[in-house]
Amino acid sequence: MSPSIENQKPVSCSAALLTPRGRGAVATIRVCGELISVAAAIDACFHAVNQKSLEAQPLNRIVYGLWGQGSNEDLVVCRLDQNTVDIHCHGGMAAVERILSDLEEQGCSRNSWEQLAKFTRTELDVELQERLTAATTFRTAEILLRQSEGLLKSAFEALLPVEGQSFNTGHFQSQIEKLLYWEPFGLHLVTPWRVVLAGRPNVGKSSLINAILGYERSIVFNEAGTTRDVLTATTAIEGWPIQFSDTAGIREQADALETTGIQRAEQMMQSSDCNLILIDVSQPEQADDQRLIALWSDSILVAHKTDLPRRWKQSLPDSAVSVSSITKSGIDILLDRLIQKLVPEVPDQNTPVPVTSRQIQLLHRALEALNKADQSVYTRLIQQLLS
């Protein structure tokens, strides 16, 4: 390395791994900062086959070369603009760590991709990208992608008052209310809807959750009180992420250990998005069944174990879903009913949807400012939305 390059330390340069950690075919490292800093860091390590320095390389052109002095690593770099360079290397973490360490030795700080994005993008852009990377299904990712491509930003920009035009409070209130209509939906795009299975002991909650999930996540044993803690598992139904919770059997006559499990089950039920109340129709009805049905009347009632002879004498509500975890009868109907309750409406492709707590809180505060006719506070809050 020549003395001139060795003494030329970057003054403002950051590097981050953009691709997921772990084994892969190709990894991408982004380097951002002042041009002199970025160029010095990369030129100290990268030797282009065309023998040009980084500053001499054209923008948006893939450049092949070798990384390092001794054990050279084949890779390519690409200048995206005057301050940004992407390094595409072997996807193994050994190669990634070597390149990041070399850049650190040249004065480049190592950051996460989220931290790097904050240097050049607004908070709105960053949080939309964070939500997109956290999506667990294609369906939710598609909705989040549309929001990140400018749909949500345009909706927020439309909330800003236009200088020289009258301040139309009613119009802005209507637009914000349309956005907040999708509040629960937007938050659930990366946070699963929570569904709790509840019922007295031995009604088959564990069997049902296993039948829904397709594998034995819960313990199935023919003894009351087997499940004493909350067991959870997440899956996707019709493209929507859903977390099922298998809870302790709820009954009035319970020992101390069971009582703790029952209390946790009831806490889960109070905060869930939907509860499934199971009754065992192969057994006579009991007071615990009637108490649960009365207390949680907004739940989906599941008449379980329909593959066995029926001993339940009382008539059931028309809304009850008859299910057998053994034969799988009624499970499709149950899941259809569940999705109708959790996701009763889906926005069309052109509908903006707020997707973070920050966005939703600012929208609520902006609505309050409109109700108080405080235009200055309202404008400041919308500007915060756009960051």
- Residue of 230, 207, 201, 238 whose CA lies nearest to 220: 207
Domain map (residue ranges) of the chain? 3-120, 123-182+348-386, 193-342
Beta strands in the chain (DSSP E): 13-17, 26-33, 46-48, 62-67, 73-81, 84-90, 109-111, 193-198, 231-237, 240-246, 274-280, 300-304, 321-323
- Predicted confidence at residue 221, as pLDDT, reads 37
List pLDDT tens digits, range 191-242: 999 999 988 888 998 899 989 988 544 433 334 444 445 678 889 999 999 9
Residue 355 burial (CB count, 10 A): 27
193-342 CATH: 3.40.50.300
Task: Indicate if the pLDDT at residue 341 is higher than 70.
Answer: yes
- Predicted confidence at residue 214, as pLDDT, reads 82
3-120 CATH: 3.30.1360.120
DSSP H/E element including 104: helix 93-105
Under the banding of pLDDT at 50, 70 and 90, the label for residue 56 is very high
Task: Indicate if the pLDDT at residue 3 is higher than 60.
Answer: no
DSSP H/E element including 5: helix 3-6
- Residue of 258, 268, 196, 271 whose CA lies nearest to 233: 196
Question: Does pTM surpass 0.75?
Answer: no
- In DSSP terms, 76 is beta-bridged to 64, 88
Cα gap 315→317, rounded to integer Å: 7
DSSP string, 370-383: HHTT-HHHHHHHHH
Query: What does the angle CA 277 – CA 260 – CA 284 come to, to the nearest 5 degrees?
Result: 35
